[in-house]
Structure 1
Amino acid sequence: MNDTPGWASPGSAPSDGQDASVPRPAEPADDTGTPSKWSKTQPPPGQWSPPSAQTPGQPGPTPPHPAPAWGAGWGGPGQGGAPGPAWGRPPAAKPGVIPLRPLGVGEILDGAVSTLRAHWRTVLGVTLAVAVVTQICDILVVRYLVPEPEQIDPEATPSEALSQAGDSIRDSLFSLAPTTVITLLGTLFTTAVLTMVVSRSILGRPVTLTEAWQEARPRLAQLLGLTLLLPLAAVVIMGVGVTPGILVGSTAGVLLAVLGGLIALVVISWLMVRYALASPALMLERQGIAASLRRSAKLVRGAWWRIFGIQSLTLLLTFLITMIVSIPFAIIALATDGSGIDGLVAGSTPEYGWTYLIITGVGAVIASSISYPISAGVTVLLYVDQRIRREALDLELARAAGLTGNGTPGTATPGS
C-alpha cells in the first residue's frame, strides 16, 4: 500500500477498457482471403466409440491420466464411484471478512455482519456513543423545539385544503430539520470511523477505536460537505417538482404537485444510487468531494440496478431490525405513560411525557447500534466489489494482506 489505508490508488487498473499496450490474443484468421497459419498436414480425426462397441479380444482404450485438481471446484464422478478431479477455479484468498474476488449479495451482507462480530468492541464503541448523543439531542428537540403541525380543516374548500396542506408540509419540514441535522452529524461520524474499520477487517487486521479515529479525522471536513450536499440536492429537486402545483392551486394543482413529486422522487433515487459510493471513495482514496462524486459515478456505471437492489435489500433489512427492536420498547413506553394512551384513545395527537421519550430512546439507541454498522459495511463492501470487478483490486488487497501468489500468507510489503 501506498498512502491509503489498504487500498490501491485510483487508476491502478483501467475501468473503461484495456490499455493498448497490453498484449491481446491474436485474432483468428477468417475465410476472406487471409491465409491460414495452420499446417496443411493434420492428424486424422479421432475415432470415438462408445465402450459397448469394443471388439472382443482386443484391449480397450487406455484411460487418460486424470488431470490435476485446480482447487475446490466441481468435478464429475471418477472411477469406482469416487469423486473425480475438481475442475473449478482455485478458492479465493480470504484474509478477512470477505473472499478476495467478486462478491455476491449474500457475501456482502455476511461481510458487514462479520465485521460487526469481529470488531464488536470498536464498532459498538462508536455506534453506541453516537447513538446516545444523537438520541438525547433528538429527545430535547422534540420536547422543546418542534411545534405541532397545523391541522387541516375537513370542511375546507379544495383551494383552502391545498393551502393548509402546504402549510402543514412546510411546518413538518421545519420541525424535521433539527432532527435531520442531528442524524446527519451522527451518520457522519459513524460512516467515517466504520469505513476505516471495514477496510481493516477486509485485510484481516485488528483495529482499535483510536486508530480508526486517527485515520478518519483528516477527512471529516470533506465528508461533512459530501454528507450535506446530497440531501440538500434532494430537497432542491423535490422543491422544484412540487412548487408548480402549489402555485397553481385548486384540484389541478394538487394533481400537478403529486406528479411533480413522483418525477422528483425518481430523479432523486437515480442520483442517490449513482453517488452511493462517493463516501468510501472519499475516505479510502483521499479524494475531494467533486472527485469522489465522479469516482462513484464511474464505478456505478453499468451496475445501477444491482447496486439499487442491494441497497434496497439492506434498507429493508435495517428497517426490520429497527422495528423488531423498537416495537417492544414502544409498547412498554405506551403502557407506562398514561398520557400517550389517553391521546390515542381520544383520537387526538398524543402528548408524550418524559417516560415515553426515554424508553423509546433506549430502543432507538439499541436499534441504531445494530443497523448503523450493517448499512456502513454494505456501502464499503459494494465499493470494494465494484473495484474488484473493474480494476482487479483483489490483487492489490492480497498484496497488502501479505499473501503470496497461491493465497498463502507471506511477507507484507513495507508501508502497507
Structure 2
Amino acid sequence: MNDSPGWATPGSDPSDGERPGAPTDRPASGDPKWSAEQPPPGQWTSPAPGQNQPPQQPQPPQQGQGWGGHGGPYGGQYGQHGGQYGYPGGPGQWGQPPAAKPGVIPLRPLGLGEILDGAVATMRSHWRSVLPITLVVATVVQVLSLLAQKYALGDLAVSAEPGADIDETINDIAVAMAALVGVGFIAALGGIVATAMLTMIYSRAVLGTTSTVSAAWRESRPQLLRLLGLTLLLALGSILLAAALILPGALTRSPGLLVVGLLVMLPLFTWLWIKFSLASPALMLERSTVFKALGRSSKLVQGTWWRIFGITVLTNIITGIVSAIIVWPLTIVGMAVFGGGLAGMEDGTASTAWGALVLSGIGSIIAQTIVMPILAGVTVLLYVDQRIRREGLDLELARAAGIENYGTTGG
C-alpha cells in the first residue's frame, strides 16, 4: 500500500466494486481521529460468504435505511458485490468504533453537508497551498480580460456608432472576437492547471496530510497534457453535438425543427455533463488515460446520476451567489464613480472606463480565488464518495493514512 495520489488505482486493483475478499467488520486499532457525526442506526448487514463474523444480531426498530440511498444502499448490497458491506460505525454495526476521520472527511459514504464542509475545510486549513494557486490563476486571467475589454471591446463600441465604415466595423469585430477567444483559451489553460493542482491537494487533505504548491505541481505535471486533452475532447464533443442538433433546423429555416433540436440538446448536454463530471479526478488520481477516465466517470456515476446532479447544481448555485455578492457591488460602484454614471451606462462607455474595469477585475479575482477551490473540492470529494460507496476505498484511504489494521477482522 502506498499513499500516492490515487490511493488504490483501479488499473491495478479490480474496479467497479469487484474487490474480492473485502472485509466487512472493521474495528480499527491505533489512535486515529474519529468523525463527530456518525450514521444513524439501520439494518444489520450480513457478512460476505466465507468471512468469520460475529453472530447476526436482531434488527432494531427500523429508523430508515442508513447511508447511501442512491447506488449501492448501505444496509443492503455493497455496491456491485455479491456479499454485504458494513463499515465502522455503519448501519447496524452496534459496538463498533465510529468511522475514522484522518483528514477533512470521515471515511464512510458522505452526505451533502459533509462534501461541502470538506471542500471548505480544506480551503481553510490548507490555505497556504490552495489560495496561491487560485489567486495567481485568477489574477492572470482577469488582467488579460481587463486589457481585452479596454482595448478590443472599447474600440468596437466606438466604431459601432452610426456612420462608421462597415469594413472598419467588421475588422474591429474580428479583432474583438480574437481577443476574447485568446483570453478564453488562457483562462481554460489556467483552470486546467489549477484543477490539476487542487485535485492533488484535496487528495492529501483526505488523508490528513498537507501538500505544498511545489509538491502539488510535481504530482500533477505528468497528467497535465492528458487533462488538457480531456478538456478539449469534451469541448469538441459539445460543439459537434450542438451542431448536429441545431444545424438541420437552421439550414432548413424550420422554426419547429430548430425548437426540437434545442429541446433535445439541453437535457442531453446536462446528462452528459454529469455522466463525465468525475472524469477529471479519475484521470488525475488514477493516472489513467483520457478515454479510461471517461469510462471510469460513467461507471461511478451510474445509478447515482440524480444525486450527483443535485449536489453539483447546488454547489454551482451557491458559488454563483457568492461570486455575484462580491463582483456586482464593485462593478456598479466602478461604473457609477468612474464610468460617468447613468450617462456612461446609456452610451456603453461606463463598462470600459479604467476605474470600472479595475474594480470589477478586483472583485472577480477575489470571487474566483474563493469559488475555484470549492468547485474543484466538491468534484474530488464526490469522486471519493462514489469510490467509497462502490469499491470500499475507505479501507485503502485508512491504510494510506497510517491507521493500522483498519478493516481487519478481530483487530
- Normalising by structure 2, we get a TM-score of 0.73
Q: How does 1:136-155 map to 2 (within 5 A)?
A: 136-146=143-153, 147=156
Determine if the alignment matches structure 1 residue 239 to structure 2 residue 266.
no
Aligned residue-pair number: 335
Per-residue deviation, 1:127: 0.5
**Corresponding residue for 2:383?**
383
Q: How does 1:104-143 map to 2 (within 5 A)?
A: 104-143=111-150
Q: Decide whether the 8 Å contact of 1:150 with 1:171 is kept in 2.
A: no
**Corresponding residue for 1:90?**
97
Per-residue deviation, 1:267: 1.3
Which range is displaced more, 134-143 or 292-301? 134-143
Per-residue deviation, 1:349: 7.6
Q: Distance in 2 between matches of 1:179 and 1:88?
A: 58
Q: For residues 96-133 of structure 1, what are the alpha-carbon distances to aligned partners after superposition, in whole Å with 9 as ceiling and x for unaligned?
A: 00000111111000000000011001111100000000
**Corresponding residue for 2:221?**
217
**Corresponding residue for 1:365?**
365
**Corresponding residue for 1:274?**
275
| Structure of larger gyration radius | 1
- AA matched with 1:8: A
**Corresponding residue for 1:203?**
207
Q: Secondary structure at the match of 2:352?
A: coil
> Aligned in 2, Cα 1:402/1:266: closer, same or farther, shift over 3 Å?
same
Q: Decide whether the 8 Å contact of 2:229 with 2:290 is kept in 1.
A: yes
**Corresponding residue for 2:67?**
none
Q: Distance in 1 between matches of 2:239 and 2:177?
A: 10
Q: Decide whether the 8 Å contact of 1:340 with 1:351 is kept in 2.
A: no
Per-residue deviation, 1:20: 10
**Corresponding residue for 1:55?**
none
Per-residue deviation, 1:234: 1.4
- AA matched with 2:236: L
Q: How does 1:70-89 map to 2 (within 5 A)?
A: 87=94
Q: Decide whether the 8 Å contact of 1:6 with 1:200 is kept in 2.
A: no
Determine if the alignment matches structure 1 residue 256 to structure 2 residue 257.
yes
Q: Distance in 1 between matches of 2:91 and 2:111?
A: 19
Q: Decide whether the 8 Å contact of 1:241 with 1:260 is kept in 2.
A: yes
**Corresponding residue for 2:314?**
313
Q: Secondary structure at the match of 1:235?
A: helix
Q: For residues 249-284 of structure 1, what are the alpha-carbon distances to aligned partners after superposition, in whole Å with 9 as ceiling and x for unaligned?
A: 3xxx33432331231121111111111111111111
Q: Secondary structure at the match of 1:145?
A: helix
- AA matched with 1:365: I
**Corresponding residue for 1:405?**
405
Determine if the alignment matches structure 1 residue 180 to structure 2 residue 223.
no
Q: How does 1:294-313 map to 2 (within 5 A)?
A: 294-313=295-314
> Aligned in 2, Cα 1:268/1:281: closer, same or farther, shift over 3 Å?
same
Q: For residues 290-341 of structure 1, what are the alpha-carbon distances to aligned partners after superposition, in whole Å with 9 as ceiling and x for unaligned?
A: 1111111111111111111111011101101101111221122112223463
Q: Decide whether the 8 Å contact of 2:323 with 2:367 is kept in 1.
A: yes
Q: Secondary structure at the match of 1:404?
A: coil
> Aligned in 2, Cα 1:148/1:270: closer, same or farther, shift over 3 Å?
farther
Q: How does 1:342-353 map to 2 (within 5 A)?
A: 342-345=343-346, 352-353=352-353
Per-residue deviation, 1:16: 5.5
Per-residue deviation, 1:149: 13
Q: Distance in 1 between matches of 2:99 and 2:3?
A: 26
- Normalising by structure 1, we get a TM-score of 0.72
Task: Tell me which of 223, 226, 231 is aligned to 2:230.
Answer: 226
Q: For residues 202-251 of structure 1, what are the alpha-carbon distances to aligned partners after superposition, in whole Å with 9 as ceiling and x for unaligned?
A: 000021111111111111111111122212211221222221222123xx
Q: For residues 148-180 of structure 1, what are the alpha-carbon distances to aligned partners after superposition, in whole Å with 9 as ceiling and x for unaligned?
A: 6999xxxxxxxxxxxxxxxxxx99987753343
Stretches of structure 2 that go unaligned for 5 or more consecutive residues are 24-46, 51-86, 161-173
Q: Distance in 2 between matches of 1:394 and 1:247?
A: 53
Percent of aligned positions that are identical: 49
Q: Decide whether the 8 Å contact of 2:246 with 2:262 is kept in 1.
A: yes
Stretches of structure 1 that go unaligned for 5 or more consecutive residues are 27-69, 76-85, 152-169, 408-416
- AA matched with 1:219: Q
> Aligned in 2, Cα 1:72/1:246: closer, same or farther, shift over 3 Å?
closer
